[in-house]
């Protein structure tokens, strides 16, 4: 085993657990990865949207634009975790452990990897659908309120 090998199971779990903070990118590509540094931005915007909903209620227009950003970011990270978890050992080692034996254990799929994929699938689907539903619900509620205002002549 080569020193500094990237483990597929660890990457899968880091991606759905800490993906919105870029933890998986730091693990796989190091501190020079610009995407790892950018991932916390949409996460922070989404959390700000959640805090705005709590502070100002559902009528705050900015919050219903910001709130789903975290969900979409989390769903994308869960999709990435699924892709990592389902990679063959040969593909994983070729991409993340160059120079290693294509069948090295760092790229093997274990039950822990499978559970990481299952959790990422459940969480990612739930968060994505919730984000879409919230966005459309708020959009149509605002449209109905506007139509009501127009119809009574305000």
96 and 10 Cβ atoms separated by less than 8 Å: no
- For the segment 75-91, the average pLDDT, to the nearest whole number, is 93
Cβ contacts of 86 within 8 Å, gap of 6 or more: 109, 117
For 30-68, the pLDDT digits (tens) are 999 999 999 999 999 999 988 988 898 877 888 878 888
Q: What is the pLDDT of residue 63?
A: 83
> How many helices (H) and strands (E) are present in the chain, helices listed first?
7, 0
Q: What is the pLDDT of residue 1?
A: 46
Rounded to two decimals, the pTM is 0.83
């Amino acid at each position: 085993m080569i020193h500094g090998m990237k483990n597929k199971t660890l990457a899968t779990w880091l991606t759905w657990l800490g993906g919105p903070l870029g933890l998986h990118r730091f693990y796989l590509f190091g501190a020079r990865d610009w995407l790892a540094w950018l991932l916390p931005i949409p996460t922070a915007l989404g959390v700000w949207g959640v805090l705005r909903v709590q502070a100002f209620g559902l009528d705050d227009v900015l919050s219903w634009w910001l709130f789903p950003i975290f969900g979409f970011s989390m769903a994308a990270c869960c999709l990435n975790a699924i892709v990592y978890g389902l990679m063959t050992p040969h593909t994983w080692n070729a991409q993340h452990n160059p120079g290693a034996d294509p069948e090295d254990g760092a790229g093997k799929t274990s039950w822990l990897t499978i559970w990481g994929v299952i959790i990422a699938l459940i969480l990612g689907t739930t968060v994505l659908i919730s984000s879409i539903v919230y966005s459309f619900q708020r959009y149509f509620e605002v449209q109905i309120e506007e139509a009501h205002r127009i119809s009574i002549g305000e």
